[in-house]
A and B are shown apart, each in its own frame.
Chain A
Amino acid sequence: MEAWNLTHSVSMWDNLAAFWRFEDINALWVLSGSILLGMSASVIGAFAFLRKRSLIGDALAHAALPGVMMAFLLFQSRDPVVIFFGALLSSFVGFFIIDWLPKNTKIKPDAALAITLSFFFALGLMLLSYIQGAELENKSGLDKILFGQAAAMTESDIHLLAYVSLFILITVALFFQKFRLIAFNRIYAQSLGISVKSYELLLALLIVMSVVVGLQLVGVVLMAAVLLTPIAATRYWSNQLTPMLLLASTIGALSALISTQVSYLAPAMPTGPWMVVSLSLLFMISLFFGTNKGLLKRWLETRALRKRVAEENILRTFYKLSERQQERESFSMADVQGMRNMQASQLHATLDQMLRKGLILSQSGGYRLSESGMQQASQLTRRHRLWENYLMQQAELSPDMVHQQAERMEHILTADEETKLQAELNSSHADPHGQPIPQGKGERHD
């Protein structure tokens, strides 16, 4: 039944070249089969992830092992369909134990997962070692499902893999609306009269199927990553389920492509670990450079915000300084530091930046607000003092408690909110500390 024998005497690159010429029709099957698997596993894994059961794939993959061995022992055959159903059955038993243990005993869900995983795996290994010791035919290669080996798959293995993966993808597409509803709002789905239990069972079946069918390619130990890592990576690119699923399946397919290549370059290498390593690489790229929540994006945003806040704080300081000492035209850095606790280097950098923007002007060894700077500063002050009043009136806070909060809100309030506040407070002219509230744009002094 061995579909191809890539001997080690042929060089690695010859193997790869032969693969891409598709001289062996099976090469095409392996490629499409593993890509389909990568796609279906990452799509179905997304739903497990959304239900906060990310590691269920890990436990189910381990739980499949004794089923594989039992099926082999009972039927004395390595027919993929027999093995598939054996694995499916024992994975399902594992699934129910994980569910049953925390509901009926004191054992916590995480321990239930670890118990099921390790017990079934031990049982599988025990049976495997028994099989290897016993005199049975056709037993070689059974241990390949531990780490997966694309090159050791037979033709019928791959056909099964491709068909089951396709089946999973089509089923998810058909029931997408229902699955999405249940994943995000189970109780609402129930209230709509959807039979949540049966859809959850279907989802569980699909998860188990994709795990079981992936064993020969990825292996028992690492199957978890194929379900989990792609969808976790897409979180850094998007918030929406549909683009997330599309991206996750692309990531799954890409890693499948890479790992089958490696498996053909070096047939002795297990495929599973390479798939996980390529998945992890894609994950790390997403973690750092993702456009939605990637670390780089978040770092840049935080830095920009920090800069803006520093700038606005200094504008306010100038405003207050000129309010207190109206006779003075300009103020030195020391004056600013006297009112605003800021590191000298940061203050210097921010002042430079404000000079460049034309918010302040340099004058006789000091600085003063420009016209546009004055406008911004009085707007900020206005928002600050309006918010103080608002807190006093609506939240009944004492005057000494409102300043700190207003210090934050002044950076966040929008023009729209400012107008609403003004209307709410029916035109008060001084803040709780007795300072006048500067007039907004378009308003006239009385």
Chain B
Amino acid sequence: MINDLWILATASLVAAACSMVGVFLILRRQALLGDAISHSVLLGIVLAYLLSGSRDLFVMLFGAVAIGLVTAWLSDTLHRFGRIQADASIGIIFTLFFALGVILVSLFAGQIDLDQECVLYGEIAFVPFDTIYLGGMENGVEIGPRAFWTILVVFAIVLISILLAFQRLQTVSFHPSLAASLGINILFWHYFLMTLVSMTTVASFDAVGAILVVALLVIPASSAYLLAKSLKGMLWIAFAYSQVAVVVGYAVSYQLDSSISASIAVAAGILLALTIAIQLLNKRYRQKQPAKQFAPEQASSNA
């Protein structure tokens, strides 16, 4: 029971952090860059581990942020100096990084606490068994799963960054040219956002794996994009969607005995599909509405 709670709490924090960062990716039309970074982060994690030999949180964060920024920068450089379409250059860079990551994982499978499976799924079901101790392994107090604390730290960083930089992020997301004319350093905020994406991805990695992060980044934020009227509203709606997806997904995975993280992502997708369906039906209904209002009036004038 307590294990289920840890899993739910971790999943909920992962989904919340992803959905909030995802809002900015959707608004700035950089969903594909988010996709790319979440793939490349694998290489960052493996390299950081191989070079430092530790799974320390800050080493992992550093590796992931470094490789995330390199991905964003290289894609942009290839686009400008190599004169290739922007999405093509993203595709070339992230497939290479991900391929290198997978090769390293399979070469050093014995040494790294990672395998090809967990790269894809994450292992949220095993989250409760990898606990950390406050004050040393031997005589410290067990304070809960490592993945939970990792994502909690990152969630706090994301939340504080958004709260502090809300105004700037708003201007940069909605009106990049205005932001530029106001003297706001767009490049800085671009890489700032990429840093948040990389941190969120690496913290979610243990729990949901490289590719399902993309679903959590993009799908709840897209649902919110359909409904919201302001940035604040969009952040709240995305957050709400992500939490519902976690609960529904967890229940489904319990029923079907399927992967928890995949089920959560599928639940998020189904929520989006429902939102679109309701919106389209609503639109059709409203198109018919004036005709109905018109008809009785005509009848009364005739009488």
Contacts and interface: CB of A to CB of B under 8 A. Distances in A.
B99 interface: yes
A407 interface: no
B87 A270 contact: no
A375 B222 CA distance: 68
Contacts of B263: 122, 126
Interface in A97-144: 101, 104-108, 110-111, 113-115, 117-119, 121-123, 125-130, 133-134, 143
**Which of B78, B82, B257, B261 has the largest number of chain A CB atoms within 10 A?**
B82
A105 B91 contact: no
B273 to A, nearest CB: 9
Nearest to B89: A232
Given A122-B212, A147-B116, A225-B96, A129 B87 contact: no
A273 B120 CA distance: 14
A229 interface: yes
Contacts of B276: 101, 104-105
A224 interface: yes
Interface in A232-289: 232, 235-236, 268-270, 272-277, 280, 283, 287
A114 B29 contact: no
A444 interface: no
Contacts of A58: 91
B121 interface: yes
A222 interface: yes
A403 interface: no
B106 A269 contact: yes
B177 to A, nearest CB: 18
Give the interface SS of chain B, mostly helix, strand, loop or mixed. helix
Given A111-B218, A225-B91, A121 B32 contact: no
Interface string B31-49: 1101100010000000000
B29 A108 contact: yes
Contacts of B158: none
Interface in B208-233: 211-212, 214-215, 217-219, 222, 225-226
Contact of A235 (B84, B211, B226): B84
A356 interface: no
A130 B257 contact: yes
Contact of A118 (B89, B214, B225): B214
Contacts of A221: 39, 98, 102, 120, 211
A119 B256 contact: no
B226 A105 contact: yes
A115 B222 contact: yes
A21 interface: no
B81 A295 contact: yes
Interface stretch (A47-55, A200-208, A305-313): A47-55
Nearest to B100: A277
B258 A229 contact: no
Interface stretch (B126-134, B264-272, B292-300): B264-272
12 contacts: A54-B88, A55-B88, A105-B276, A105-B279, A115-B218, A122-B215, A125-B121, A129-B262, A147-B116, A221-B39, A275-B99, A276-B99
Given A122-B265, A122-B266, A228-B88, 13 more contacts: A54-B85, A111-B225, A115-B272, A118-B35, A123-B266, A126-B256, A225-B91, A225-B95, A229-B92, A232-B84, A276-B99, A280-B95, A293-B83
Interface of A: 49, 52, 54-55, 58, 62, 101, 104-108, 110-111, 113-115, 117-119, 121-123, 125-130, 133-134, 143, 146-147, 221-222, 224-225, 228-229, 232, 235-236, 268-270, 272-277, 280, 283, 287, 293, 295
